[in-house]
Structure 1
Amino acid sequence: MQFFTEHFNTHHLLHHPHKWFLALLVSPIHFAEIHYEKKYHLNFVHAKKLFVFDITLLLLAITLFISTIFWFTYDPTITKLVYLNIKTTNSRVASGNYVEYTINYKNENPLPLISPILAINLPNGFILDQAIPADKFQNNFFTLDNIMPKTTGSVTIKGWIYAIPEQDNHITATLAFKQSGKEKYEEKSTLLIKTLRGSVLNTKIESQKIILPNDNIPIKIIIKNTGEKTLNNITIPLPNSSEIKFVSKDLGQTNITINELKPNEEQVFFLNLITNISDNNKKNIDLNLTPQLEINRTKINQTTLTYRLDIARPKTNSTAVWQNNIEKAKPNETVQLKINLKNTGNINLINPKIELPITGSIVNVEQLKNLNNGTYKNQIFTIPLDNLEINSTKELIINIPINNFPQGGNDLLFSLSPRLNSSLNNITNNYSEIIESPAIKIGTNLLLNPEIRYFTNEGDQLGRGPLPPQVNKETKYWAVINLTNGTSKLSNVNLSVQLPNYIVWTGKTSVTNGSDIRYNAKNNTASWVSNSLSAHENAGIYFELALTPTTEMRGSSPILVQNIAINGLDSYINETVSQKYGSLDITIPDDKIGQTKGIKVE
């Protein structure tokens, strides 16, 4: 190459390096040219023959290519000039609607279509009402007359269509025919894709929109036929899982069945929905009901109804403790129960209340009602509260008065189980939670029943001397002191009585247990001691006293016994139990027979 020979030298390397570098790049071409000139120059004596041979091969390849294209594209049929389409008069169709399909055909060929047969492939849920022309239709086939060149025609199918809504439904028409003088049928097909929008079978659910994770709510399902044709054999499978279950006394738990549903008729079913949702993160749950119609011996799903239920999770962080953390209580003592509530759920608590089950065996109910703001009914003490909103707190103090003489067994343990009960917005069932308090010990008490007697209730005479008492004449009475222990063992029980100085100790005594009565003449007192009294044990202390009235006592009822006192140690709560009684005189209120004889000195 001339460019290479001119520029690939030292001069251009020093003064024009860019041209020298370009010459270096084209150097392979230059050396290839030199090699060709040396080896092949003046050796092409057969070039003309080779040229003719190459042209012949090229023409043969072109001929084969054109023949192949013709072979694969040649169509001996006449279907290209046969036109077929399907049209419907309804733009929007629901499952169960009455529809009309018209199949139009046209022959643009110069040849007639011989023995044409038009086949219609309809959905399984299509119920035929009318085919036009009816005399040419049988088993989804129209047997047509020969279709002449340049002519058109149509057939019509009418009926009710039932299919799965919101899915494509294919309706195909196929025209089969023969050419004149040929026995083989040719076919022309067309396709109509139709999507049904909704269904004439309307399903509706009426229920609360918010449920609890573990709930049992009433639910109403309404099925209505909005179409113009009676529907038969309707089935609605009911959801049944580990989380939701429908129950009904009439339907069982499987499905709803309707044998017949006339146009514009509806049927209502009342059920209960039982929920058992353990997933704490789940915020809602969907009820999916899919009615099924049996058409042409085929079950066809209709529009699925999805009914969403939101899940409310009412929850409280609640405690019930005894004020000052007491562990025991004595009879006649008032203790305080402190209840703390915090709404940790996702829904407000409406009109909450504390329901406190209480009987009168340990608690003084009348005092309970007076000490607290609440109502008592059917052994439940109810305290109303203000609404408890989400994340809000509430503290409540309840005064609990203990009975004077608690009952209910031995060594009583007392605890309370207040129940928080609250309504919830838009939810049928209430929220409830039981709060357990610690148990405390309840101590025992003594019932002290002292009396003076001259006669027994049966009429036996105990006393001696005139009755009513007479001045300067001795009359003898018996002092009767009955003790009843409560629910716990008492130890070191001591009884003491004081006698007026005009009363004479006769020395006649009787006790049912413990030591004998001791009389101290120096201070005119009597005492009785027992090492213990078991729970619910009774004791009787009886002694005789003599009264000789003086003139100053005439017309009065002198005192026989005074300053009655008893005490003991409650070994259950380690507390002292004591009772006192004032005085007893000769009015003997418990001795009805003696009272009739006289109660004043004469």
Structure 2
Amino acid sequence: MEEKLFEDQHNKIDKTKEALYSGMREEKLMMNELKKKEFEVQKNWDTSSSQEKSFGKDTTNLPDTMVHKKSKSVSKIILILSILFFIGALIFAFYVLRKEPNVFSPENIEMSIKGLVSVGAGEDINLGIIIENKNLTNLESAELIIDFPSGARGALVGQEKKSRIVKSLGTIIPGSLVNEKITAEFFGEENEIKTVLVTLEYRFEGSSATLVKETEHTVKIISSPISVSLEIPDEIVSNQEIELVVKIESDTNNLTKNLLLNISYPFGFSFIKADPEPQDDNVWVLPDLEPRGKQVIKILGTIKGDPDSSGVFSADLGIQDRQNSNNIETVFSHAEESVIIKQAFIGLQVLINRQQTEDYIVIKKDEKVYVSILWENNLDTRITDAKITVKLDHDIINRKSILIPDPKGFYMSVDDTIIWNQQTNSELASIPSGGKGVVSFSFNLLPVVSEKGLFKDVELNISASAEGRRLSNVNVLEQIKTPIVGKARLVSDVGLTAKALYRDGPFTNSGPLPPKSNKKTTYTIVWQITNPTNQITNTIIRATLPTYVSWLKSVSPTTENIFYNELGGEIVWSAGEIEAGAGITKKPKIVAFQVELIPSITQVGTFPILVNDATLTATDSFTGSTVDDAEPAQDIRLTADPYYKLIEEKVVQ
């Protein structure tokens, strides 16, 4: 039927074209002749078959417009149905997703850590790690990783504590729970927060991609097992000594090992000494601290700075780093204290034996020690009621020898102080701005070996202080005090002795005695070193042999480093390090060697020299100065030999 309609329409188009282009003016309009069509009208509505026949089945005689309308209606229906299907699919998908969200998703893995959130440093706590798989598939190759922060460690049951724990969990099936228990300990400062990171690495069944799930647990340290505190003066004068006291206390019932203390000094601080001694001036590797134990460290130094400036001392105490022994792995306690540098109201300077004592000067045991205290008012205002005090602090000072010239001071033997004030020196009653003066005294030293024992590493601290009153800017009298310390160190009195022997000593000598011209006679030469007070190092003794004396290469003890140079005839003994007390409370350092004499006929009736003058040089370890001694030449007069006879002292024919 559609083909017939198409042919009719095509014929009409052709006929229209012929009419338009035929060139004839008279046209005969061709129109379809209307035909009368009889329709059977039904009287009832239920005759659907006839309606189908009239409108549904038989479209042969329907107009063209009705056929086109029917075709468009079918397309619209199909389009509407497609849209409805798509919307339904979306609704279904949304429903499914809402009902079963992310079926294979990390969101369906629940991880949690159960345990205390606060703990005392060093105490053990239990942590529980719970993992639940809510996915509909297995978690394969699951691995649990626990990373502890610095200063914390943990362990699974029955294992050693570590900073990182890795455990394989294998396969975690859907709906199952994994519960791992660990014991952990945390170290650090009070109120410090520590965070534990727990990681689960896994693969979904059928997938090769490794996924990660993480969670954290924070712990606050509410107390530290070890504390450190600092004690320093609130104020100090520039370039004056300052003592820093470090106190360490244990607040635990456990023994604390591997402690390290690190002190930070302010700019301008110069370390002098400490008790106990540190590593590198500011690091202490401490012994094990007993439960509830205490330890004190005293540090002495000087600090320089501008008036009214300040310096901060800080201390860190903790566990020693296993990789770097001078670093702290975990800090237990931290302390800070500051000191204000004030202007010296009364400037003081200590001279010992007319030498300035920025560090120390070196004195000898037999010399008188002269001390001068130079003072000056550094302020732009007057100072009144000034007083200068000197404190003596060493037992080697002979108190009976103390002499105080004018202006007179007074020695208080009860507390070992010398005092100058306005009663002994009128200049100190009122000192104008820029006013200056000097006070002095002297003393002798006792022997280094006395009934009190042997004095070793002697250092004299001449502690001087000045105080007075000034009128401040607010018309208030202020008390001021300026301390200073002058130091002197006693150099060791090293001694060298030499002696010549024939019948005594470690060697058997031969030849005539008294020696005869042109005949060989051997002798033993002994050198001995004594060192009373300080250790000495780089000790060397030198001497030469006369041309008529030969070196026999016999040395006792054989371990001594002694060398003979035949070209110059010089003997060199490198004695090395000599301990304090050698020859007094300990054995002296001794070496013996053998020489041979062949006297000339021209030496008959004389006392030929066996070894020329000997000299000793060394370094005093305590004072840093060079020490020396000398011993005269030794000849054939064997006065040190217990079997010496006077008739044997000259060469005979």
Question: TM-score, length-normalised on structure 2?
Answer: 0.38
Question: TM-score, length-normalised on structure 1?
Answer: 0.41
